[in-house]
Each structure stands twice: as C-alpha cells, then as structure tokens.
Amino acid sequence: MTLIRMITAAMALMFTVAASAQDAPVAPPKKPVVLLAGSTGKNGSVVLKALNALPGEPFDVRAMTRDTGAAVSKFGSIANWYEADVMKPETLTKVMAGVDYIIDAKAATGLFNDNRPEAVDLEGTKNMIAAAKAAGVKKYVIITSSVSGQKDHFLNKIGRDVLIYKGLAEEALVASGLNYTIVGPAGMTDEPAGKEIKIIPRKDYVAGQKITRADTAIVCIEALTNAGAANKAFTVINGDGADTGAWKQSFAAMPNK
C-alpha cells in the first residue's frame, strides 16, 4: 500500500469513528436517589404517591419496606421496592448505597416487640442515622410530631411513651451532624392536598390544628432540596385558603431544634 493510500485509509477510519461517536446514544444524567422509609404506612404511602406524581420524575425513588412481597400485594408495582428492616442494621447497608436523600416516614404500629415506639421510633431511627452517615446521605427529612418530646401528653399514656421516644430520636438526628429537617405535623387528616399550607414554630402549635397527610408529603419533598430547610424543626398546619406556595419561603425563618 502506497503512503497516499495509507493516509487516505487512516483519515477514513478517523471520520468513521467520529461519526459513530456522534451517533452513539447519550446516557441520561443520574437522578438523585431518594430513600423512603415506612413507604407502606399511613404517612409513607401518601409520600410515595406524591413522589410518583412529581412532574418529570426528578428522583430515583427507593421504597423501603420490611416485606416486598406484602408491599407488591397491597400496592402493586408502583415503586421500586427495597426490603430492609430498621431493627436490623445489617439490612440497611445495601439499601443506603448511593442514596442522596432520605424521607423517614416510619412510625410504630404497636406497643410490643419490634413494633413498639422505643424500637421503631428511637432505636430504628438511630440505626437509620448510622447507616445514612456511613453512606454519605446529603439530607435526612423525618416526620415526627408537633408535640414530640412532651412528657405529660395523653398520647404517652396510650402509646407507651411514644412522644418521648420521638423526641429522643430527633435529638439523635440533630447530634448526628447530618443535614436534617424535622417535620412535626399537626393532627393529620386524609383529605386531599391543595389547602393553604403554613409552617410555624412548634411552640406556636395549638391543639386542634390540622394538616392533611398529602400536604405533609408535599412539605417533606420540598424540604429535600430547599436550602432554607437545612437543620430546621417546625410544625406544619393547614390554613383556610388555597395553597399559593408561599410557605416554601418560610423554612429559613424556622428555629433549629
């Protein structure tokens, strides 16, 4: 082969490679990963629905449950189900890998064994926090109560000191060094979202105030990426009007725990 032919062949190969590179599909950017704990519970299932309804599917959502078979049976294939148990730290390592954000919507469902408040609300949260720190999670949003930590509340008498354990869990989260948002909803209802949302300091909460689970879910999702929500604790309630979104500017004015 003459030198001219060799040069011509080399140039043709270069153009072919360049054209192939241009034609190759471009991988979509990686979406932030949100881990939702308690995804089959009263609050968590509503948060899951709200995450699924976000325009453009901005997050890669991992719906965490203790029993994926039961979750699929009850809710179907509406999520990427991940099996893990907050009372079994060894199960949390894999589910936390690559997670950017956490919404912790779990809550005790009983008074005994691994369903009691001391186990789920306190020890389970401590286990989640440890796994989140090890995984480098950027933000930890937790749903607790507008009256967390109160010792003389009637809910402690019927719920085996549930508010005390929620308060201790909050303290553990604050002490962890993780970027946190503590959402303390008022009395929760199952009405649809769309009412006026108000974020207030927990000291201003008045017994009898209400918030829908759906609106609470919206606040939790916003808190994931809203810079003003960093290291804040507050109560969320519904007002009388329609939602305008003005509450999104209220995070920064809220106190730390």
pLDDT in tens, 208-252: 999 999 999 999 999 999 999 999 999 999 999 999 999 999 999
- The residue assigned the tokens 């199960």 is 91
Domains defined for the chain, CATH in brackets: 30-253 (3.40.50.720)
For the chain, count helices (H), then strands (E): 9, 10
Q: Please name every residue paired with 198 in a beta bridge, in sequence order, or none if there are none.
A: 237
pTM of the model: 0.87
| Side chain identity at residue 239, one-letter code | G
User: Burial of 155 by CB count in 10 Å (0-12 exposed, 13-18 middle, 19+ buried)?
Assistant: middle
How does pLDDT run across 148-178, given as a tens digit for each residue? 988 888 876 776 788 999 999 999 999 999 9
